[in-house]
Amino acid sequence: MMRKALLPLLLANIAAPLAAQDPAPPSENAILVTAQRSGAPMWTIDTDTGAIILVGEIREVPEATPWRPDRLEEAVGESQRVILRSRPKFSPGDFFRVMFRAGRFLKLPDKTVAGDYLDEAQRARLAALEEKYDKDYDRSSFLITAFNLLARQLDFDDDTLDDATEVVEEAAEDADVEIIRPPRFRGEDLLDSLSEADPRTQIPCLEAAMTAAEAGPAIIEARGNAWRRFDIPATMENPLEVALGSCWPWADPELGEEIRGIWVDEITQAMGADGVTVAVVPLRVLAEPDGVLDMLESDGAVIMGPDWRGR
């Protein structure tokens, strides 16, 4: 009988230390520290019930940029939810619209040419790039010309790593963490915005792309390194980042304003939720003047992280 009575006590004494060894859920500070060790610039907002981590994303991170996405994955796995950019919603009818409006997207309207819109200095710059790359941009829409200069000639999207959005999305799916996406733009609205744009509104995009192409490939690695050093002003002032932010849809007044407003709304709503929220937001939308960080701060949020305003 004595042996039978001792057995439950013995088992209890063995189980107690094992139970004490069960890891406690990571604290908000521990999740933040893990996320910061990834090397991506980020900002935090403490709330009454948790914290918001805002990851400033740049697209097409060069392979040479020394950041650690695995640490961001680890932090996401311990968070309660993530907010990611939405995907445009295209219907079958939208693809027919593209087919019928292809000329509006690809060419300048009514058989006009670049010289009908550009001043003498701008046209001379474009002519020099046409000669350098053996291309004829005279009839191409300025947006298409800009994308050709950046993607085909500068090759900024070659030899790149996964974007922060892709890293966080995969980690959230693997860990069964809630994924929130802002409302999606209808493809019809995006196509209408693009096809109806006056070519003159796309000249700043063309000029920024020409500046990036003239600067050469060195700006690609410089942009990645500035991002990794949390030098937000240098990242934002990099000619490649300026060019990407100067083109559609970011430069469209109505679309750009709507995109910024949607991000502020989603982040503000997350402030009332329990636990940690990781939001991956385009750096330009976050850190530009009157961007998401400025808007959140003006609403009373206390934001901790790298200086985004510049010297």
Q: At 189, is the pLDDT very low, low, confident or very high (cuts 50, 70, 90)?
A: low
Rounded Cα distance, 191 and 134, in Å = 30
What is the pLDDT, as a whole number, of residue 106? Answer: 84
Rounded Cα distance, 104 and 288, in Å = 30
What is the pLDDT, as a whole number, of residue 12? Answer: 45
Cβ–Cβ < 8 Å for 183, 86: yes
Enter the pTM of the model. Answer: 0.84
Task: Pick 21 or 71 by higher pLDDT.
Answer: 71
Q: At 129, is the pLDDT very low, low, confident or very high (cuts 50, 70, 90)?
A: very high
What is the pLDDT, as a whole number, of residue 259? Answer: 81
Name the nearest CA neighbour of 241 among 260, 219, 257, 270. Answer: 219
Q: At 212, is the pLDDT very low, low, confident or very high (cuts 50, 70, 90)?
A: very high
Q: At 102, is the pLDDT very low, low, confident or very high (cuts 50, 70, 90)?
A: low
Question: What DSSP element (H or E) covers 279?
Answer: strand 275-282
What is the pLDDT, as a whole number, of residue 223? Answer: 97
- What average pLDDT does range 255-269 have in this prediction? 86
Average pLDDT, the chain: 85
- What average pLDDT does range 198-207 have in this prediction? 93
**Beta-ladder partners of 55:** 42, 280
Q: Which of 89-93, 149-153, 198-202 has the lowest mean pLDDT?
A: 89-93
Name the nearest CA neighbour of 64 among 283, 234, 223, 241. Answer: 223
Distance of CA 218 to the CA centre of its chain: 22
Q: At 257, is the pLDDT very low, low, confident or very high (cuts 50, 70, 90)?
A: confident
DSSP structure class, residue 140: B
Rounded Cα distance, 68 and 40, in Å = 8
Residue 210 CB coordination number (10 Å): 20
Is the predicted pLDDT of residue 180 greater than 80, yes or no?
Answer: yes
Q: At 20, is the pLDDT very low, low, confident or very high (cuts 50, 70, 90)?
A: very low
